[in-house]
Structure 1
Amino acid sequence: MNNSSKKRNISTIIILAIVLLVPGFLYITLNKIGSNQYLKLPIYGDKVLTGKMNRKMGRERPDTSYHQIAPIKLINADLDTVDFLKEDTVISVVHLFTANDDGLSQNLISSLKPVVERFKNIHKVKFYSISLNPNESVEDLKRLQNVYAKPYTSTWFVVKPDTAITNYVQSNFLIDAHINQDSTFTFSNNYLLIDTERRIRGFYDMNQNKEMERLEDEIKVQLVEEARNNPLKIEKK
């Protein structure tokens, strides 16, 4: 066998080795290092180490307690009680409004409608337009319900509290909300994305370009996370 034949044989062996061994090596590497690596949204608010350790993927990790929003009872246009955040299988999108505000409130409600339309058949996602005004009239709530949320009665809830909730909003939603001297309200122009564990996973500024698109995309991301972490709970819903 001449030198050129030997070189060709060696080259062939090397190529075969690469073809046979590299995919297996990559598969093992990805399973060891890259498996279960997927996009996760941040968790907002205070984080506290509980002192416990959790074992995940063969590794010990410190257990962390995150900021959670307290459930609250609200009232809809039919004067029925709505248990906000009672369900542990629902991803929620929330914003504030007052019915007599034709500026920010109107824009927050109208801008949400295309997002609700996008997820109208996914009952694990619910949308809440929450008035800050406990004296909001039933007529005003019904007007807004009929104009915007009527096609989405099981998905989109236009509601109000029965007592002042500005302190609740600030401590739970971590956004601005207060009553002015003239009895009007000042509040945030953000939508909130809340996971099934009542944790805030996103803030979305209505005045920023592409924020509504980001909200849609991150609802999908959160749906994937919930399905991965709680497959049985999600399937039951």
Structure 2
Amino acid sequence: MRKGYILKKIIILVLILALPGFLYYLLTAKGKNRYKPLPFYGPKMVAKTGHKFHGKYIPDTIYHKLSDFNLTDQNGKPVSFKNFDKKIFVASFFYTNCPDICSAVNKNISELVYAYRKNRMVYFTSITVDPERDTPPALKKYSSRYETTNKWLFLSGDTATTYSLARNGFLVNAVQKNEHDFIYSDKLILIDAEKRIRGYYDGTSAADITKLNDEIKVLIAEELRKVDKPLY
């Protein structure tokens, strides 16, 4: 049973590495594949713990992590970290009455959602900055434009929660300018399984969407390597 499980993981990993754009993230050292790691964004601090590398003691680094949140999805169901336990997810901000930019960003997200529709490790979230109008029923109606399945959650919460989450968690801007206008980031934000920020991408840029697609694969490979670490 264990051998079959390991073989399955190896096959998945090989398939990931075989994808053309992903090759950019590979380095070769002593005949072994090494991944070019993604950066960590946000403030960081030196931990009191450490580890040895080639006989040298190296202090561990504590990276910025999202705090847990409690929001509601388009189906009226509560959403928190429990929904993303050991999962990778891509977050974004929007509102249903925004100009064309939201449609452009969400169209690009929908293509990624489709690409990862069978992958249990990858999810997508779009958080409204206009919760007063973007109630769960309104988000449900809006989400019907896209083939969301259960991989793409449209989330709402009170502005105190969502704006704080944007600024202090995802480290992007979100503020209501007036009754009908909002200032918010159009970035897509890549979050790893440990709830750390690993990338920001222009949601309207084809080049950035391709880069995001490749870097999602990097995180998938990281997670698979954790499971089968003794093999590598």
TM-score (norm 2): 0.78
Structure 2 unaligned residues grouped into runs of 5+: 1-28
Q: 2:118 aligns with which of 113, 117, 121?
A: 121
Shift of 1:133: 2.0
Structure 2 counterpart of 1:74, from 50, 71, 75: 71
* Contact 2:74–2:153 (8 Å) recurs in 1: no
Q: Distance in 1 between matches of 2:141 and 2:220?
A: 31
- Output one character per residue of 1:13-71: Cα deviation in whole Å (capped at 9) or x when no partner: xxxxxxxxxxxxxxxxx55xx75632110011111011321235655321100000112
Secondary structure, counterpart of 2:218 in structure 1: helix
Aligned partner of 1:190 among 187, 191, 194: 187
With over 3 angstroms needed to count, the CA separation of the structure-2 counterparts of 1:114 and 1:132, relative to structure 1, is same
Inter-partner Cα distance in structure 2 for 1:140 and 1:104: 19
Structure-2 change in CA distance of 1:175 and 1:147 (3 Å): same
Equivalent position of 2:136 in the other structure: 138
The answer to whether the 8 A contact 1:54-1:61 is kept is yes
What CA deviation, in whole Å up to 9, does each residue of 1:129-173 have, x standing for no partner? 1112221133321112211144x22x1111111443212211111
Q: Name the CA shift for 1:206/1:163 in 2 (closer, same or farther; >3 Å).
A: closer
Q: Distance between the aligned counterparts of 2:227 and 2:170, measured in 1?
A: 24
| Rg (Cα) greater in structure | 1
- Deviation, structure 1 residue 85: 6.2
Task: Determine which of 210, 222, 226 is the counterpart of 1:225.
Answer: 222
Supply the distance in 2 between the matched residues of 1:145 and 1:54 (Cα, whole angstroms).
46
Judge which range, 56-65 or 186-195, deviates more: 56-65
1:204 counterpart (195, 201, 204): 201
Aligned partner of 1:222: which letter?
Answer: L
Identity of aligned residues (%): 30
1:77-116 matches, cutoff 5 A: 77-84=74-81, 87-116=84-113
* Structure 2 CA distance for partners of 1:117 and 1:129, relative to 1, 3 Å: same
Which of structure 1's runs of 4+ aligned residues deviate more than 6 A? none
1:86 shift after superposition: 5.2
- Greater Cα shift, 195-204 or 103-112: 103-112
Q: How many residues align?
A: 199
Report the RMSD for the aligned CA atoms in angstroms.
Answer: 2.2
Q: Which ranges of structure 1 fall in alignment gaps of 5 or more residues?
A: 1-29, 233-237
- Residue 188 of structure 2 aligns to a residue in which SS? strand
Distance 1:230 1:199, change over 3 A: farther
